[in-house]
Structure 1
Amino acid sequence: MNIVLDAYLDNNLGDDLMIKILVKHFPQHEFFLYSNSSAVKNTFHGIENITVKRIAERKLDFKKADAYVTIGGSRFQLVSLKQKFWRLNRLKQLSRLKRQKIKIATIGSNFGPFSGKFAVKLAEWELRKNDLVTVRDKEAADFLHQFKNVDNYHLADDIVYNLDSIYSRNYPQKSGLGISAYRSIRAPEYNFENYKYLAALADQYIRKTRKTVKLFAFDSENENDVVAALHIYDLAEEKDSYEIIPYLGAEEHFLQEFEACERIVAIRFHSAVLADIFEIPFLPVAYSNKMSNFLNDRGYAGPVTELKDMNRDLCVDTLAETIINGGELFSDFTYDHHNASVHFDELEKILNSK
């Protein structure tokens, strides 16, 4: 079966893991991704059932496609006029695919933010055209519940909880702090204050523990967390105790280094998911509803720091002690008690249906 795959392609670890896990689960199918970036193409080089093609080729490929699958969270943000106009054009495309009898699925999603009732209506119109929708948090499931004509939807833990299909854990001796460096392209006015605060926080951790700090850059293209990591390092005083770990398309080394941390400051959503998988206590830092929903679904009642509040008004010493002591951090780990396989189980039913 030929499957056109729609995903966020930015050398972003979380999104790339979802793609790699998906195609590993369905080796009998051929998947097609579309990007003009040679760096993105290199990320998926060597995976037998994935072909990365130029964006201009997608329209022609739809003529021979059997299914169209959109994967990943944050694919339904409808705030600006540009986003709404783009969604209208997408609706026209989905209508054409429907007429061609191509199966349509959206998996691993969450929703929002939205601006106005029309934005919500656009999301509803698109979701009604799907044969399957799977979501990763309860807020998203509740959002779908309001739509009478969207009925084949399922709530399941994030797709990355299926990580063991592509990565074998090492169970290393854990030591030091990992920080998910983050460069916001939506609220850049806060970035430098965040960098200064994280450098001060990491320096304080190093002075109190004499352990290393790893700065993890989850995205290395347009969003470019590598720049955030470099700024934090440049602002730091204890430079000899820092490492920068960038994700450049190959996940093995990145995950090994992440798994070896004993504490995590989780800013990127998938840094929280990975900390949960690897059973690492973490301090959640929220910049969108993704993190908040994840924590609410797990009944977490500990400290949550808003990214925009990570500035000189937030006491560095107190937060460093919270991280070191660990008692208030997220540590109610999922272990193997997740249902992330539901995304693929339900997708398989759709792909196999007549």
Structure 2
Amino acid sequence: MKRLLVDAYCNKNLGDDLFLKILFERYNNVNFTILNAPKEYKGIFKGIDIQNTNKIQRILFRLFPFHFTKKFEGFLLIGGSMFMQNETWKKDIKKKTRVINSFTSEKKEVFILGSNFGPFNDSTFYDKYNKIFKNCSDICFRETYSYNLFKQLPNVRLAPDIVFQLKEREIPKRKNTVGFSLIDLENRNNLKKFSDQYLNKMFDLIKSYIDSGKSITLFSFCESEGDMDVINKIMNRMTVDYLNKMNVINYTGNINEFLNEFKSMEVIIGSRFHSIILAQVFKQGFYPIIYSDKTYNVLQDIKLDEYYKYIKDIDSLNVNHVIDVAQNNRINDTEFFRDSENHFRFLDDFINRNMINEQ
């Protein structure tokens, strides 16, 4: 059985955990070790042959990366916003360079799948990653904007977001239901000043939906990033009459239970990036509330960029307009669902090739 070291965002964020779910279920003949994952991740993916690195292993990896990587056949970095220019970007680049170099120096393959690039604001950031990417075996971005930044590299490809290929049993939609994916802006420096306006608009929209006879479910995709905090702020402002028509679902690693609740909604009002993707997978009407250009870039790719609102423009959101258009706003070109599997095209070849060599 082949061994693959995986780097992912392991903070009980539904979108990133869906990447891992899809990866692990696709390759049940591979032994995965997750870099920097807390212990509970073995419980999230019960029945799948995965390992976590412990604290001592991570220290040894920082000190002796080349020795540590000898036990693996390859390295996979999988995740969405893995290349953002934030306060720690220089440290992040050093970490990624150390890992990738430890594999490429041994002529082992390195894959980067499912990501977008940015936001970034200077050429040094771009140039450093351009140098790193040249040494990788295969890089597949999830939207055209990021692909165009590096398309001159022969190892760079494009495919729709990995979650488009999620294969889930369909269940009937619950009548007159609307799901809301909400995010906390207090820890987002560029959006914090819009926090009150965002809360006010979401509050008004939820009340308007309830007044029109709908039942509401508020979905927290990542508690550690404050989703439950903003949900509680909304709930605390509601009167009992409205609270009786509302429900809260918090993701705590319970992937299947969360998805079952989410896909039962008729309409999704989505702030989280993957709430928009899941709404398409589950054939739901939706309206996107955009906190990052990565969402708009994907909406452009799937030709659903007619209806949306950036959070920075949230004051101009018309509640009645959202209710009017969200019901029937959905994807028509389902080729994206199949094309999403192209993310794994070269990883498929790599794993199958190594299996043949073992036999």
TM-score normalised by the chain length of structure 1: 0.89
Consecutive unaligned residues of structure 1, counting only runs of 5 or more, are none
What is the aligned partner in structure 1 of residue 129 from structure 2? 123
Aligned to 1:182: 183
Q: Is the 8 A contact 2:302 2:336 kept in 1?
A: no
CA distance in structure 2 between the partners assigned to 1:216 and 1:98 by the alignment: 41
Aligned counterpart, 2:215 = 212
Cα distance, 1:301 vs. partner? 4.2
Per the alignment, residue 87 of structure 1 pairs with 93
What root-mean-square deviation, in Å, do the aligned CA atoms of Structure 1 and Structure 2 show?
Answer: 2.1
How many Å apart are 1:328 and its aligned residue? 8.3
* Aligned-partner Cα distance in 1 for 2:343–2:330: 25
Q: Which amino acid aligns with 2:3?
A: N
Alpha-carbon distance, 1:217 to partner? 0.4
134 and 55 in structure 1: CA distance in 2 versus 1, 3 angstrom threshold = farther
Distance 1:296 1:85 in 2: 32
Deviations 1:235-293 (A, max 9, x none): 23322111111111011221121112121111111000010111111111111111111
Q: State yes or no: 1:103 paired with 2:106.
A: no
Indicate the residue corresponding to 1:155 in structure 2. 158
Change (3 A) 1:334 1:252: farther
AA aligned opposite 2:138: L
1:252 aligns with 2:256: yes
Q: 2:122 & 2:83 partners in 1: Cα distance?
A: 14
Of the structure 1 ranges 260-269 and 228-237, higher mean CA displacement relative to structure 2 is found in 228-237
Matched length: 340
- For 1:286 and 1:48, how far apart are their aligned partners in 2? 35
Task: Give the distance between the partners of 2:130 and 2:104, measured in 1 at CA.
Answer: 16
**CA drift at 1:206:** 0.7
Aligned AA for 2:165?
N
Q: CA deviation at 1:334?
A: 3.9
Q: Which residue pairs with 1:349 in the alignment?
A: 349
For residue 303 of structure 2, give the secondary structure of its aligned residue in structure 1: coil
Letter in 2 for 1:303: Y
Establish whether residue 298 from structure 1 lines up as the match of residue 302 from structure 2: yes
Contact 1:161 1:277 in 2 (8 A): yes
Corresponding residue for 2:83?
A: 76
Native 8 Å contact 1:194 1:307 kept in 2:
yes
Aligned residue type for 1:31: F
Q: Give the partner amino acid of 2:18.
A: L
What is the identity, as a one-letter code, of the residue corresponding to 2:57? E
Name the structure 1 match of 2:272.
268
SS in 1 for 2:157: strand
Amino acid of the structure 2 residue aligned with 1:215 = L
Give the Cα separation in 2 of the matches to 1:138 and 1:336.
16
Deviation, 1:140, is 1.5
**1:296 Cα deviation from its structure 2 partner:** 0.8
In the alignment, residue 130 of structure 2 is paired with which amino acid?
E
CA contact (8 A) 1:322 1:328 kept: no
